Amino acid sequence: MQPPTIIVLAAGRGERFSRSGGTTHKLDAMLAGIPVLERVLHAVAQSGLPSHVVRPEQASPESGMGDSIARGVRSTQDASGWLILPGDLPLIDARSLHLVAQGLACGSVVVPSWRGQQGHPVGFGPECGKALMALGGDKGAASIVRAYREKGAVQELHLDDPGIAMDIDTQDDLARAEAMLQVRLPS
């Protein structure tokens, strides 16, 4: 069976990061000498799973997360499912991507968490494709998760990876990620 495709969302405006004092787009911000998005794409490449990146040039200025998800799923309609991964999770471990992908064998939707905090990527089976392609605006796929949760078709997946919940929205987030990375890296 073909593995699901990772949809990397990299088309957001990053306004909170700018408001917090960031001088670049958050995905271009340097984290231990490597841009945030490059770290995410490295984990995606390490996973070996197929992927598609939704970039800003593919989005209109008023596009939101729902539009980006829909665009990514439309571009990969023949996929066996999708892992929706925001491009601002630079500490995510490639093993977490595999575990979410594997979880789709047991459910329509897989929601990972770390110490009770919901994380990413959220996995969606092929039966979610039409609903994902119908998304728009600033809302992500929470409504789809809610609908499948009501059906009892959501698998909660507890992972030992703080990187699934550590996104970069502000300069303070970037500093926290830098501190976490220093703990993880050998001297």
Is residue 155 predicted with pLDDT exceeding 90? yes
Query: Is residue 43 situated within a structural domain?
Result: yes
For every residue of 36-65, DSSP letters joined together read HHHHHHHHHHHHT--EEEE-GGGS-TT--H
Residue 185's pLDDT is what?
56
Output the pTM of the full model: 0.93
Cα 138 from Cα 101, distance rounded (Å): 25
Mean pLDDT confidence for 117-138: 96
Query: Is residue 187 situated within a structural domain?
Result: no
Q: pLDDT digit string (tens) for 159-183?
A: 999 999 999 999 999 999 999 888 7
Q: pLDDT digit string (tens) for 13-61?
A: 788 898 998 889 899 999 999 999 999 999 999 999 999 999 876 556 6
Total domains in the chain come to: 1
Return the number of other C-beta atoms located less than 10 Å from residue 118's C-beta: 14
Residue 124's pLDDT is what?
98
Find how far residue 76's CA is from the centre of its chain.
16
Given the DSSP bridges, would you call strands 117-118 and 109-114 parallel, antiparallel or unpaired?
antiparallel
Residue 60's pLDDT is what?
62
Is residue 186 predicted with pLDDT exceeding 80? no
Q: Domain with 106 in it: what CATH number? A: 3.90.550.10
Residue 92's nearest CA partner among 157, 140, 160 is 160
Query: Is residue 28 situated within a structural domain?
Result: yes
Query: Is residue 186 situated within a structural domain?
Result: no
Contact 22, 13 (CB under 8 A): no
Q: 119 or 181: which carries more pLDDT confidence?
A: 119
Range of 31's domain?
5-181
